[in-house]
Chains A and B, each alone.
Chain A
Amino acid sequence: MNAPLPKRIWQWFTRTRVGRSIFRIGLPESNLERSQVMVSSFLLHVQPVKVHRHSLRASYSLGLGLILLYLFLILTGTGVLLMFYYVPSTEKAYDIMKDLQYVVSAGLVIRNMHRWAGHLMVLFVLLHMCRVFYTGAYKRPREFNWVIGVVLLLLTLLLSYTGYLLPWDQLAFWAITVGSNIASAVPLVGTKVRFLMLGGHFVNANALLRFYVLHCMILPLVALLFVAIHFWRIRKDGGLYAHHSEPDVVMTTAPARPPL
């Protein structure tokens, strides 16, 4: 038995105290060890130990949820990079946005990645919801995960909306003017909601700062929390939905009632 060198190094490393404390199991040899690897690893435990073949078909789920995860990661990465330059001030914001486009190295690519990933995120959330709807993946026991999905849709729209103001150009200003006036149409509390949202009567310095904090801190953290619950529920509800893996629902007929 002469294993190739990388494998021998790996086997030696996973037998050392450090390697064992990190990887616990090492390279799995049996089904039991394979499942132990999945359960004992933080990165792998998101995946189920076993997956139904049906749900692995790319044409079934279209990978839309995974695409959304990747878009979220792209948005987080590029968003953090943009924060190194961006300042939420009415005097500077627009100029900095232009600097990001024309002065900062790779700024144009990173800004555009953030912008396009943001647009695509909204699109793919809707497509993902269509897929879940048409394949019936929202049905028992997955109803609650659909509700979490709706919360994530709202968070995506709010992230998109708050990010819209940050370039501080004419489009941003009027879009938020119009949008915040829509909020003021809420009965009884509408104008108060608008005032709280903008931190004033107009789209102004306070509004820019508020939208910045919401866009960069509060909404992403809340979204992260709900994404985590969303993934956890998928695992708890038995992995990706696949028609034929579902337990048969016992069909019962209503007891016959005597004619009135």
Chain B
Amino acid sequence: MNHSTPDNKNEVSRRGFFQLTLGWLAGSFAVAAAAAGTVRFLVPNVLFEPSLRFKAGKPDDYPDGSVTFMEDERIFLVRQGNTFRCLSAICTHLGCTVNRADHGYHCPCHGSVFDEQGAVKSGPAPRGLEWFQVTLSKDNRLLVDKNQRVAADKYLVL
């Protein structure tokens, strides 16, 4: 039974080496696989969240020069003449909903102030408010896509 044990007790035998290596490898693999599976389990595959792409009604629903706040979508729809734009109402600081103020927007949480173009005037916000792409759907409705960020000077012109 002891034929493979070397004389020096501190020396690891060939069998002992493979037992240790394989044992630790198998153990580490099992732990890693269980951890990876657990984390993956916690990442939901299906989300029951409102679509980031939605129809915002007919262009004529919005009077000229209006800034319309949509609470559920957390956006402002801005109409100037025949141009339409969509401004995110989510503060770039920590995600509160900004309010319409006299000459721009104001965040109630930590006091960031944005101008009409969504640029930061003061406060802790690191970036200006996002602008989203507005297009016209085939049935003549405004189509906002919050996946598509655009520059502040990009309009939908009708």
Contact B43 A182 (CB under 8 A): no
Nearest chain-B residue to A201 (Cβ)?
A: B49
Contact A205 B47 (CB under 8 A): no
CB of B42 within 8 A of chain A? yes
> 1/0 contact trace for B95-106 toward A, CB 8 Å?
110000000000
CB-contact partner of A178 in B43, B47, B95, under 8 A:
B95
CB of A202 within 8 A of chain B? yes
Interface of B is mostly: loop
Q: How many chain B residues touch the partner (CB < 8 A)? A: 12
CB contacts (< 8 Å) of B44 on chain A: these are: 199-200, 206
Contact B49 A177 (CB under 8 A): no
CB contacts (< 8 Å) of B43 on chain A: these are: 195-196
Contact A200 B94 (CB under 8 A): no
Q: How far is the CB of A34 from chain B (nearest CB, A)?
A: 46
Q: How far is the CB of B158 from chain A (nearest CB, A)?
A: 31
CB contacts (< 8 Å) of A116 on chain B: these are: none
Q: A195-B43, A196-B43 are in contact. Are A177 and B48 (CB under 8 A)?
A: no
CB contacts (< 8 Å) of B30 on chain A: these are: none
How distant is the Cα of A180 from the Cα of B109 in the complex, in angstroms?
A: 14
Q: A195-B43, A196-B43 are in contact. Are A202 and B109 (CB under 8 A)?
A: no
Contact A178 B49 (CB under 8 A): no
CB of A204 within 8 A of chain B? yes
CB-contact partner of B96 in A178, A200, A202, A205, under 8 A:
A178
> 1/0 contact trace for A178-222 toward B, CB 8 Å?
101110000000000001100111101110000000000000000
CB contacts (< 8 Å) of A206 on chain B: these are: 44, 47
Nearest chain-B residue to A185 (Cβ)?
A: B94
How distant is the Cα of A178 from the Cα of B92 in the complex, in angstroms?
A: 11
CB-contact partner of A181 in B48, B49, B95, under 8 A:
B95
CB contacts (< 8 Å) of B47 on chain A: these are: 200-201, 206
CB of A10 within 8 A of chain B? no
CB contacts (< 8 Å) of A174 on chain B: these are: 96, 109
> 1/0 contact trace for A63-101 toward B, CB 8 Å?
000000000000000000000000000000000000000
Contact B94 A182 (CB under 8 A): yes
CB contacts (< 8 Å) of A204 on chain B: these are: 48-49
CB contacts (< 8 Å) of B95 on chain A: these are: 177-178, 180-181
How distant is the Cα of A199 from the Cα of B94 in the complex, in angstroms?
A: 18
Residues 39 to 58 of chain B near chain A (Cβ within 8 Å): 39, 42-44, 47-49
Contact B49 A202 (CB under 8 A): yes
CB contacts (< 8 Å) of A178 on chain B: these are: 94-96, 109
Q: How far is the CB of A21 from chain B (nearest CB, A)?
A: 41
Report 16 cross-chain contacts, Cβ distance below 8 Å, ordered by A residue. Answer: A174-B96, A178-B94, A178-B95, A178-B96, A178-B109, A180-B95, A181-B94, A181-B95, A182-B94, A195-B43, A196-B43, A199-B44, A200-B47, A202-B49, A204-B48, A204-B49
- Tell me the B residues contacting A by CB distance below 8 Å: 39, 42-44, 47-49, 93-96, 109
* Other 7 A-B pairs with CB < 8 A, given A178-B94, A206-B47: A174-B96, A177-B94, A180-B95, A181-B94, A181-B95, A200-B49, A205-B48
